[in-house]
Amino acid sequence: MRISTSYSSEQNLNVMLNQQSELGKTQLQITTGKKILSPSDDPVSAVKTLELQRQINLSQQYLDNADKAENKLSVSEGLMASSGDLIQRIRELAVQGLSDTNSAEARKAIAEEISQLNSALLGIANSTDVNGEYVFSGYETDTAAFDSTSFAYLPTSPGAGDGQRSIRVGEGFSVEINEPGSKVFVATHDVTGSQSIFETINDFVTDLNANTVGTASANGDILSNLDNGLDTLLSARTRVGTRMNAVDQQREVNDGIKFSMEKMLSQVEDLDYAEAISRLNLQMTGLQAAQQSFVKVQGLSLFNFL
C-alpha cells in the first residue's frame, strides 16, 4: 500500500502537536506545583482532593470558632475576676462597718465607699463585649443584665435570661460561651431566699447609713450573704475556666486533624519536581525529534529556515 506524503506529514504534525501539548502540561504542573490540573487527569484523586479540602476547611472553621469561643470566655472570666476582687473588698469594709467601735459618721463614710464599689460592680455586670453585646444577659444580648435602680435581673423572656449561647468547636462538640447573670450575680440570701448581690450590698449600705447594722439585721447576715455571692461567682468562674481548658484541648485535636489532612492532600496533589523535570527534559527531546522528522518529511519548506 502506498502512503501519501500528505498522510505522512499529517501524522508527523499530530505527533509534534501532541508532544507540544504534553510539554505545555508539564510546564504548567511545574509552575503550579500541582500534578492534577483538572479532574480528568485523575478522577479518583480529584474526588479525594475535594474531600480532603472539605475536611481541611471544616477543621479551620472549628479552629476559628475555638478562637471566638476563647475570646468570649476570656472576657467573661476577666470580668468575673474583677467582680470577685470588688466583692472581697466590700466584705472587708463590711467587717469594719459591723464593728461596734464605729460611730454613725464612720459608718456613713464606709457606706459611701461600699456604694461606689457596688456601682462599679453593677457596671461590670452590665458590660458589653467588642460587638456591643451584653456579656451576662443570656440570649438577650441587646438588653442590660441588671436594672441600675432595683438591681433586678432584666432578661425575662422565657428561657432567654438563663440562656447560654453555644458554638461548635469540633466534630460533635459544642461549648457554651457565656454565663447568664442570674447564675453569676444572684445568690442565696438568708432572708429573701435569693437576690442579686447588688441588692444585698445596697441593703447593707442602707443599714450603715441608718446605723442599724448587725449580723442579724432585718436584711440578714451581710457577711454570710456576701460569702454566698462570692461562692456563686467562683462557681461560675470555675465553669468558664473548665470550658476554656476544653477549648484548648479541642484546638489541639483540630490542629492535628488539619495537619493530617494537609499531609494527605499534599501526597495526592503535590508534584514530584524531580520526576516532572526529568519528564520535561524527555518531552523536549521528543518534541525536537518530532520537529526534525517533520522537516525531513516536508522537504523544502518553511521549516528549513527555522
Same domain, 286 and 244: no
Q: What was the pLDDT predicted at 1?
A: 44
Residue 230: is its pLDDT beyond 60? yes
CA distance 140 to 157: 8
Strands 173-176 and 166-170, how do they pair? antiparallel
Nearest to 125 by CA among 167, 57, 182: 182
Residue 70: is its pLDDT beyond 70? yes
* Winning range, highest mean pLDDT, from 125-129, 220-224, 289-293: 125-129
Contacts for 10-19: CB closer than 8 Å, 24+ residues apart: 12/290, 12/293, 12/294, 12/297, 13/294, 15/290, 15/293, 16/287, 16/290, 16/291, 16/294, 19/283, 19/286, 19/287, 19/290
Count up the domains in the chain and report the number.
2
CA distance 250 to 253: 5
Q: What is the pLDDT of residues 25-43, one digit of tens each?
A: 666 666 666 666 666 666 7
Nearest to 26 by CA among 266, 269, 273, 265: 273
Asked if residue 47 belongs to a domain, the reply is no
Mean pLDDT value across residues 115-137? 96
Asked if residue 137 belongs to a domain, the reply is yes
Same domain, 242 and 214: yes
Same domain, 19 and 101: no
Same domain, 201 and 295: no
Asked if residue 131 belongs to a domain, the reply is yes
300 pLDDT band, cuts 50/70/90, is: very low
Q: What was the pLDDT predicted at 16?
A: 63
Q: What is the pLDDT of residues 257-290, one digit of tens each?
A: 999 998 888 777 666 556 666 666 676 776 666 6
Asked if residue 45 belongs to a domain, the reply is no
Same domain, 78 and 153: yes
Asked if residue 11 belongs to a domain, the reply is yes
113 grid coordinates = 465607699
102, 110 contact by CB (below 8 A): yes
Asked if residue 40 belongs to a domain, the reply is no
Looking at 245, 263, 281, the residue that finishes a domain is 263
Q: What was the pLDDT predicted at 2?
A: 47
Domain containing 247 — which CATH number? 1.20.1330.10
- The terminus-to-terminus CA distance of the chain in angstroms comes to 33
Same domain, 259 and 275: no
Same domain, 16 and 83: no
Phi and psi of 34, rounded to 5°? -115, 135
Same domain, 251 and 181: yes
Same domain, 138 and 226: yes
Q: Can you say whether residue 180 is alpha, beta or left, with left for phi > 0 and alpha for psi between -120 and 50 degrees?
A: beta
Domain with 112, as residue range(s), is 54-263
Q: What is the pLDDT of residues 76-104, one digit of tens each?
A: 999 999 999 999 999 999 999 999 899 99
**pTM summary value:** 0.77
Share of the chain above pLDDT 70, in %: 72
Asked if residue 44 belongs to a domain, the reply is no
163 pLDDT band, cuts 50/70/90, is: confident
Mean pLDDT of the chain: 84
